[in-house]
Amino acid sequence: MLEGLKYFGEGLLGFMNIGTLFNVLWATQLGIIVGMLPGLTATMGVALMTTLTFRLDASNAVLILVCMYIGAIYGGSRSAILLNIPGTPANAATTIEGYPLAKQGRAGRAIGIATTGSFIGSFIGMIMLALFTPLIGEFALQFESFEFTWLAIFGVIISGNLTAPKDPLKGWIAGFLGLFVAMIGMEGIHAFVRFSFGSVGLSGGIALIPAMVGAFGFAEILNVMKHPVYEVVNTKIERVIPTLSDIGRYWKTILRSGVVGTFIGAVPGVGEDVAAWVSYDMARRSSKDREKFGTGVVEGLIAAETGNNACVAGAMIPVLSLAIPGSAPAAVLLAAMLIHGVRPGPLIMVEFPQFVFQVVAMVLLASAAMMILGLSLVRLLVKVLLVPRTKLMPIIFTLCVVGSFAIQSRTFDIGVMVVFGILGYYMREMEYPIAPMVLGIILGDILDKNLRRALILSDGNILPFFTRPISLVLFLITVFVMVSRMSWFVKATAGIKESVRGLFRRGNHEE
């Protein structure tokens, strides 16, 4: 713990210079703008920014991306409150209470409360990031190839399970599609070329950044251009800074939402939108005024915004300790770390222990910048919503093209971006989630190498995958997650519950 505080202090002091603080401010501000413009998601912002920062040193590049990430998740609350349109999926729950408050003429108060809740949520997540990353990293040192194989499969399954609540099969299909895409090109052990069909471009594999820029960026452009233009109805802002009573009255809700959001963020591939909805639902269930929810209740607004911003730091816990992203923007962040030579995973506390606490310091600086900018530039930033999208989308498309090309200077990667953009668009149209596919691309290399390495170690024997204690636990959890979402199991469980209730009712009646 003392060593962690030492690394945190050194990291924070290392960032205390004019150039770095300027980067924190502009990156957070740009993130807020990206988040508040409907159609520009946090994932798109982080993916595009990754392509523009790969020539910087690792710490400054990751700092800018963390600021973009935190700023974008918060910025989506602006359009959610003022337009009833969530700027990012993470702010969908914010619209339920934020927009009614704006219609009541309390838009400024709603923005101030959302800003404060976002800051506190990030702060709670930061503390848990500092506490749990070293512990999980130390535990993960016991993992070998057998465990990492199941961990990769579990990551894809749980991501598909939670990002496609109506039909988890669609989420699993998307995840395993990503695993297949990761198998294209030279494999990592013997450099054997697979699934290239004679194409020189495909023999080099599908690069992660162009695929993500396409799936989240170009697909988003196509999706936005399909929908009608939104109209800015209310831009009137009154007093923004909330009172202490506004915040202190809901301290239990804030604390609960912060903890819940962080833990949901730590689950691979789930994301900030799930954290916001779960936090909002828990606040509604525990409130004395639950019947008023949906009419502009401050408690619901602060729960949603605290939960989604706490999820940001929570999503970084598995990134640093296991090299498995907790959300789609965290997946891009993981890719950026790998590009810059930082290797997240079980060995990070051995190879780069100071980097973990540098990330904690980054979250603190980004959260502070978000709080300052979020409360001070409200009236000015609201005018950004007036920018016509006919001027905005060509700029975003240009950044998608330039960003895809810039990493490896291959025109083939521009084609990859376009193909995955079209694929991502049609996946959304058919209600297939994109996050599991991207997670599959990231985890595909981990699964491929560790599966074959494990089989080499066991001379082709698959029993160690089921007899080693940690492997067995991961296998059982994966099977349970899949079976628990299958329709026949759900119906059978419901039938058993109803039968048990019937027995209790009969017993009570006989008494």
Which pLDDT score is estimated for 488? 46
Comparing CA positions, the residue from 193, 271, 209 lying closest to residue 412 is: 209
3-state helix/strand/coil string of 399-425: HHHHHHHHCCCCHHHHHHHHHHHHHHH
Task: Domain ranges for the chain, please list them.
Answer: 2-467, 468-511
DSSP designation for 38: T
Q: Which two tokens stand for residue 463?
A: 């029993």
- Work out the angle between the directed axes of helices 107-140 and 94-103 (0-180°, nearest 10): 160
> 337 with 148: CB under 8 angstroms?
no
Angle, CA 118 vertex, CA 435 and CA 403 arms, to 5°: 40
Which amino acid does the sequence have at 366? A
Kindly state the DSSP code that residue 388 receives in the 8-state scheme: -
The Cα 138–Cα 136 span in angstroms is 5
DSSP letter for each residue of 239-262 = --SPPHHHHHTTHHHHHHHHHHHH
For strands 185-186 and 193-194, give the pairing.
Answer: antiparallel
Q: What is the distance between the alpha carbons of residues 311 and 98, in angstroms, rounded to a whole number?
A: 20
- The pLDDT of residue 66 is 93
Encode the chain (511 residues) as per-residue pLDDT tens digits. 666 677 778 878 888 899 899 999 999 999 998 888 776 778 888 888 887 887 788 888 999 999 999 999 998 888 888 777 777 778 888 888 888 888 787 778 888 888 899 999 999 999 999 888 888 877 777 788 888 888 888 888 877 776 666 778 888 888 889 999 988 988 877 778 888 888 888 888 888 778 888 887 788 788 877 766 655 555 566 666 777 777 788 888 899 999 999 988 887 767 788 888 888 888 888 888 777 887 888 888 899 999 999 999 998 988 888 877 777 788 888 888 888 888 887 778 777 778 888 899 999 999 999 999 888 877 776 666 667 767 777 888 888 888 788 777 788 889 999 999 999 899 988 888 887 888 888 788 888 888 888 998 888 888 989 989 889 988 998 888 788 767 544 554 555 555 555 555 555 555 5
Q: Which residues contact 231 (CB under 8 A, 6 or more apart)?
A: none
Among 133, 141, 77, 135, CA closest to 363: 133
- Going by C-alpha positions, the residue among 435, 456, 476, 397 that lies closest to residue 223 is 397
Is the distance from CB of 302 to CB of 330 less than 8 angstroms? no
Tokens representing 455 are 């089989």
Distance CA 176, CA 277 (A): 26
Rg for the chain, CA atoms, rounded: 23
DSSP 160-182: HHHH-SS-HHHHHHHHHHHHHHH
Confidence at residue 410, expressed as pLDDT on a 0 to 100 scale: 83
Question: Is this structure's pTM higher than 0.75?
Answer: yes
Cβ-count burial of 78 within 10 angstroms (0-12 exposed, 13-18 middle, 19+ buried)? buried
**pLDDT score at 39:** 67
Distances (CA, A) of 479 to 165, 166, 348, 453: 17, 19, 29, 23
Give the tokens for residue 58: 């690792």
CB 87 within 8 A of CB 37: yes
Q: Residue 423, Cα to own-chain centre: how many angstroms?
A: 21
